[in-house]
């Protein structure tokens, strides 16, 4: 199935596909193992920094190899690309989805570049995600409350969102409805579900939820009911990776063969991904 077909299935059957960031082979493998165990489609995604580290062609080849080896559908997404050049590299490498994030640009420039990305991507059957309102935070552990961090940042307006989607021709809209990147020490990551419902009503496209780490499970499930078909996860996996690796290194001071130390790390990340797959309702969807 293509990316479009998977997103359509998700929208129709009210589940979301997890979009999991990778920056190394261990995380990549953990996500794939979780997908195979839960029989769930997955989106492997890389930010520009992660893409530079791994290489566009390598990411696509790893996805194809793992998909064949484990019999699972793996879509590849470029996450938060800030330039046309970054998008073109991913399009040429064979990514399935391109997220152009022009939210920090003047609106006219954002629309202009997004339209260019759409034109180039659609020629190859690739879907494009756009971002109109900048989603705050970063994939880190933040001190304080998410509510405090985003209180002065305007959320996505349903009518403006509809116009943005129409003018750009994007397939997926990254909404800002109280979600923020990263995990906050005091919580406060609460979604404006009424706003989300209105955005779903006014826009004729798929909707994605960035900053999925830390958002209460019940709210994520409600957001999926209102049209979210893609949920991005990064921080919780990074947190699990570092915690487990720190413990493994401390408990095995004489071991220098890294592959022998990495299995518990992979398993720790896999557990995080499997929990998210259950939360998103995508488990078992490969065969049904």
Question: What tens digit of pLDDT does each residue of 207-222 get?
Answer: 999 987 888 899 999 9
Residue 285 counted as domain residue = no
**Is a pLDDT exceeding 80 seen at residue 179?**
no
Average pLDDT estimate for 34-40 = 98
Cα(41)–Cα(15) distance, integer angstroms: 11
Judged against a pLDDT cut of 70, whether residue 130 lies above it is answered with: yes
pLDDT: which is higher, 87 or 156: 87
Summary mean pLDDT of the chain: 93
pLDDT at 148 over 80: no
In the chain, the number of structural domains is: 1
pLDDT of residue 195: 94
Q: Which of 59-63, 65-69, 125-129, 142-146 has the weakest average pLDDT?
A: 142-146
Report residue 173's pLDDT band, with 50, 70 and 90 as the boundaries: very high
List pLDDT tens digits, range 229-280.
Answer: 999 999 999 999 999 999 999 999 999 999 999 999 999 999 999 999 999 9
Rounded CA-CA distance 29/133 in Å is: 33
Rounded to 10 degrees, the C-alpha dihedral 190/194/197/199 comes to -90
Report the distance separating Cα 255 and Cα 263, nearest Å.
13
**Per-residue confidence band for 137, with pLDDT thresholds at 50, 70 and 90:** low
Per-residue confidence band for 142, with pLDDT thresholds at 50, 70 and 90: low
- Would residue 287 count as lying in a domain? no
Q: What 8-state DSSP symbol labels residue 73? A: -
Of the pLDDT bands very low, low, confident and very high (cuts 50, 70, 90), residue 180 is confident
Residue 129: per-residue pLDDT? 98
Entry pTM: 0.94
24 part of a folded domain: yes
Q: Read off the pLDDT of each residue in 104-125 and give the average, rounded to a whole number.
A: 97
Is position 208 within any domain?
yes
- The catalytic residues are 79
> What residue numbers bound the domain in which 28 lies?
3-280
What pLDDT does residue 287 have?
A: 82
**Is residue 241 in some structural domain?**
yes
Supply the pLDDT for residue 126. Answer: 98
Residue 286 inside a domain? The answer is no
Please answer whether residues 101 and 48 qualify as being in contact, where contact means their C-beta atoms are separated by less than 8 angstroms. Answer: no
- pLDDT band, very low/low/confident/very high, at 107 (cuts 50, 70, 90): very high
- Res. 143 pLDDT band, cuts 50 70 90: confident
Residue-wise DSSP of 228-265? EEEEEE-HHHHHHHHHHHHHHHHH-TT---HHHHHHHH
**Domain harbouring 137, CATH code:** 3.20.20.70
Cα–Cα distance, 85 to 100 (Å, whole number): 10
To 5 degrees, how large is the angle CA 233–CA 237–CA 241?
Answer: 165
pLDDT level of residue 189 (50, 70, 90 thresholds) = confident
């Amino acid at each position: 199935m293509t990316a479009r077909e998977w997103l359509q299935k998700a929208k129709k059957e009210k589940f979301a596909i997890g979009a999991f960031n990778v920056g190394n082979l261990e995380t990549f493998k953990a996500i794939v193992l979780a997908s195979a165990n839960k029989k769930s489609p997955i989106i492997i995604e890389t930010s520009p920094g992660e893409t530079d580290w791994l290489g566009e062609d390598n990411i696509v080849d790893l996805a194809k190899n793992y998909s064949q080896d484990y019999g699972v559908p793996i879509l590849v997404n470029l996450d938060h690309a800030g330039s046309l050049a970054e998008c073109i590299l991913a399009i040429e490498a064979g990514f399935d989805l391109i997220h152009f994030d022009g939210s920090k640009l003047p609106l006219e420039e954002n629309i202009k570049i997004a339209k260019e990305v759409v034109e180039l991507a659609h020629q190859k059957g690739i879907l494009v995600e756009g971002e109109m309102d900048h989603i705050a935070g970063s994939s880190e552990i933040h001190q304080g409350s998410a509510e405090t961090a985003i209180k002065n940042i305007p959320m996505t307006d349903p009518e403006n969102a509809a116009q943005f989607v129409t003018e750009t021709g994007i397939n997926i809209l990254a909404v800002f409805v109280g979600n923020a990147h990263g995990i906050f020490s005091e919580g406060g990551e609460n979604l404006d579900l009424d706003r989300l419902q209105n955005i779903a009503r006014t826009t004729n496209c798929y909707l994605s939820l960035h900053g999925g780490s830390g958002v209460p499970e019940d709210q994520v499930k409600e957001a999926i009911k209102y049209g979210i078909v893609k949920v991005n996860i990064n921080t919780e996996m990074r947190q699990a990776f570092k915690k487990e690796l720190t413990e493994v290194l401390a408990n095995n001071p004489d071991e220098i063969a890294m592959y022998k130390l990495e299995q518990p790390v992979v398993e720790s990340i896999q557990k995080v991904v499997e929990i998210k797959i259950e939360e998103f309702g995508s488990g078992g969807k490969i065969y049904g």
